[in-house]
């Protein structure tokens, strides 16, 4: 792996914070081949030593100094990691002093606590929302009184993963309704959606991309035919326009971004879990 820049996300917890910030940083540099690796639950000298060994081996293999994005709180473990010789980026360190001054309090440095304890009420909200998404997926259950959001779009436009993401990360009850050929030929909003108009959000997608996705699912079917895809997308977009439903194309948008935009557009303010 000569010439590859190794990046390690090292944490005493899951490593999600380190990986999130590290990934955001790396996308700001172009044309460099990065090899990234998360090393989670580094909460003992043995685990820190094994991480150091891995970091050193990567440097030997690539000939380039590795980068470590680090959220380990324990100073002894941090000293050990720093001895690896990698460029150490401590994801918390720059912010702790200003926060301590502002809040008039010293940080509590407990290993593995960076993500906080599990809050039963929050957990329940996520689980209930996930169950809701599962039972209200793909038009299965169309009683939407409890829904926070109803995603509407043609089959394979990205509704299901967005609903699950909204449930898992925001505890939002998200249902989704697939526009069928009959719905689209009717040229108006299906009756059962009408009374929930304020919760509706339309997803659309480039027909060529849709065709690729459907082709993988049901090769050479009428369903996966480019003309079918094009006709469905045109009819769905016309319906969204006519009914004044906010709409977003998922073609070049990540699940995270779709979810963020749906919540912003519908004015739903929820914390992320």
| Rounded distance between C-alpha atoms, residue 155 and residue 204, angstroms | 10
30 binds its own copies (CB under 8 A): yes
**131 or 242: CB nearest its own copies:** 131
Contact yes or no for 72/78 (Cβ under 8 A): yes
Which region, judged by CB under 8 A, interacts with its own copies, from 55-63, 68-76, 178-186, 189-197?
68-76
Contact yes or no for 136/90 (Cβ under 8 A): no
Task: Report which DSSP code applies to 118.
Answer: P
Residues 91-120 that bind its own copies (CB under 8 A): 91-92, 94-96, 98-99, 102-103, 105, 107-109, 113-118, 120
| Rounded distance between C-alpha atoms, residue 207 and residue 209, angstroms | 5
Which region, judged by CB under 8 A, interacts with its own copies, from 24-32, 173-181, 187-195, 226-234?
24-32
Q: Which phi and psi angles does 152 have, rounded to 5°?
A: -125, 140
Residue 157 assigned ligand-binding role? yes
**133 or 193: CB nearest its own copies:** 133
153 binds its own copies (CB under 8 A): no
Residues 186-245 that bind its own copies (CB under 8 A): 209, 213, 216
Contact yes or no for 12/71 (Cβ under 8 A): yes
Q: How many CB atoms lie within 10 A of CB 271?
A: 8
> Residues binding its own copies: what is the number (CB under 8 A)?
82
**228 or 250: CB nearest its own copies:** 250
């Amino acid at each position: 792996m000569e010439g590859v820049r190794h990046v390690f996300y090292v944490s005493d917890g899951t490593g999600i914070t380190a990986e999130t910030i590290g990934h955001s940083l790396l996308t700001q540099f172009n044309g460099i081949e990065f090899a990234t690796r998360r090393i989670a639950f580094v909460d003992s000298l043995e685990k820190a030593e094994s991480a150091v060994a891995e970091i050193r081996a990567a440097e030997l293999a690539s000939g380039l100094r590795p980068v470590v994005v680090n959220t380990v709180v324990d100073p002894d473990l941090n000293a050990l990691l720093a001895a690896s010789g990698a460029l150490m980026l401590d994801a918390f360190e720059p912010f702790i002093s200003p926060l301590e001054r502002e809040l008039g309090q010293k940080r509590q440095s407990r290993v593995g606590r960076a993500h906080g304890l599990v809050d039963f009420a929050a957990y329940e909200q996520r689980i209930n929302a996930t169950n809701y998404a599962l039972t209200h997926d793909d038009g299965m259950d169309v009683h939407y009184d409890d829904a926070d959001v109803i995603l509407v779009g043609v089959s394979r436009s990205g509704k299901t993963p967005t609903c699950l993401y909204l449930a898992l990360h925001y505890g939002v009850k998200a249902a989704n309704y697939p526009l069928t050929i009959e719905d689209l030929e009717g040229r108006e909003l299906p009756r059962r959606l009408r009374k929930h108009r304020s919760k509706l959000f339309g997803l659309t997608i480039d027909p060529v991309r849709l065709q690729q996705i459907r082709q993988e699912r049901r090769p050479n079917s009428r369903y996966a035919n480019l003309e079918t895809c094009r006709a469905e997308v045109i009819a769905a977009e016309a319906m969204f326009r006519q009914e004044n439903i906010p709409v977003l194309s998922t073609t070049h948008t990540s699940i995270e971004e779709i979810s963020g935009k749906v919540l912003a557009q519908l004015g739903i303010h929820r914390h992320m879990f």
